[in-house]
Structure 1
Amino acid sequence: MATPDFVVSLRERIGHAPLPLVGVTAVIVRGDEVLVGRRADNGAWQCVSGIVDPGEEPADAAVREALEEAGIVVRATRLALVQQLDRITYANGDQVDYLDLVFRCEWLSGDPHPADGELTEVDWFALSALPDVDDFHRRKIAAALSGEASAVFFGGR
């Protein structure tokens, strides 16, 4: 999916200046498996993620992204992790500061497939057989699977 229209509109006004955005990561669980996909832009394996639209509930954004990117229906069951990501500067010079909200989501229906072009591959994996998922994304998965009732918050860095 392309850059959301509201971001394009903001960029017309602020240029490449840092833009604070809320992002979501959906750690989708089915039994003992987790859904991960290979990103089309950089080839990295990670969980489904995306930007929260203006006025959208973050948990609803996680559910929407799962349908848009992987073609599956999920239910967000728990906020697992809240973290401020390091500033990202994209190749075109745009700077973004993402507040990342990580949700544990439970699979309801559908067979995963690359639905909108953001992913080239998507499938279920046992934790012991995850593809080359980096430590940053493994931390998100661990937080979602931890069984903790409360979300993890990082601070004081």
Structure 2
Amino acid sequence: MSTAAVDRFRVVPAAYVVLLREGEQGPEVLLQLRRGTGYMDDHWACAAAGYVEQGESVLDAAVREAREELGIVVDPAELDPVTVMHRTTPGGGPVEERVDFFFRCRTWSGSPVLQEADKAADLRWVPLACLPEPVVPHERAVLDGMVSSSVTPVTTFGFPVAPRGRAFRAT
């Protein structure tokens, strides 16, 4: 079968770096307040996240995003996989079919500082168990799952039915 005859579906991959540190009230996560991006503006989100570029590994993407968005250096060996999320936005078309790789990171070099002020209005450490509102919904599902220890290696989000009750569903 020729490749021209096969119209394969494609998903958009992204890497998320969940930076964590110990705070007075337990683990804290670094979040940014999205602004001026056209997607989920005025929602809190993981401080470093973005698309995997062609020819780039997901680990390289996570390291690059941490450097570009926060000015920090992350060793790929310090990226601890949390979950891989297959998500969709019903009616959003192919561009809304995503695969997101979430990594926990507790060690890095440098001090996180907003590097892209045109895309974020604030950067803040917050208790993981007490997130601000609103948080980007699929990211909130992962962060809440980290708090409750219910996050699974593979999750789904936005699909009508979660398989075997092990994945996240949009509510």
Tell me the TM-score normalised to structure 1 length. 0.70
> Paired residue for 2:44?
45
- Relative to structure 1, the CA distance from residue 97 to residue 29 in structure 2 (aligned partners, 3 Å threshold; closer, same or farther) is same
Q: Secondary structure at the match of 2:102?
A: strand
Gaps in structure 1 of 5+ consecutive residues: 1-17
| Alignment partner of 1:97 is 2:93 | no
Preserved contact between residue 113 and residue 121 of structure 1 (Cα < 8 Å)? no
Deviates more, 1:95-104 or 1:122-131: 122-131
The CA deviation at 1:35 is 0.7
| Alignment partner of 1:34 is 2:29 | yes
Tell me the TM-score normalised to structure 2 length. 0.65
What letter matches 1:138 in structure 2?
A: R
The CA deviation at 1:146 is 6.5
The CA deviation at 1:142 is 3.8
The CA deviation at 1:102 is 1.0
> Paired residue for 1:11?
none
Preserved contact between residue 27 and residue 140 of structure 1 (Cα < 8 Å)? no
Which structure has the bigger radius of gyration?
Answer: 2
Q: Distance in 2 between matches of 1:145 and 1:152?
A: 17
Alignment of 1:35-114 (within 5 A): 35-40=30-35, 41=37, 42-47=41-46, 48-75=48-75, 76-87=78-89, 95-114=95-114
Q: Distance in 2 between matches of 1:95 and 1:45?
A: 22
The CA deviation at 1:46 is 0.9
Q: Give the RMSD, CA atoms, in angstroms.
A: 3.2
Preserved contact between residue 81 and residue 144 of structure 1 (Cα < 8 Å)? no
- Relative to structure 1, the CA distance from residue 133 to residue 74 in structure 2 (aligned partners, 3 Å threshold; closer, same or farther) is farther
Q: How many residues align?
A: 138
Q: Secondary structure at the match of 2:11?
A: strand
The CA deviation at 1:151 is 2.1
Q: Distance in 2 between matches of 1:84 and 1:111?
A: 31
Gaps in structure 2 of 5+ consecutive residues: 1-8, 157-161, 164-168
More strand by share: 1
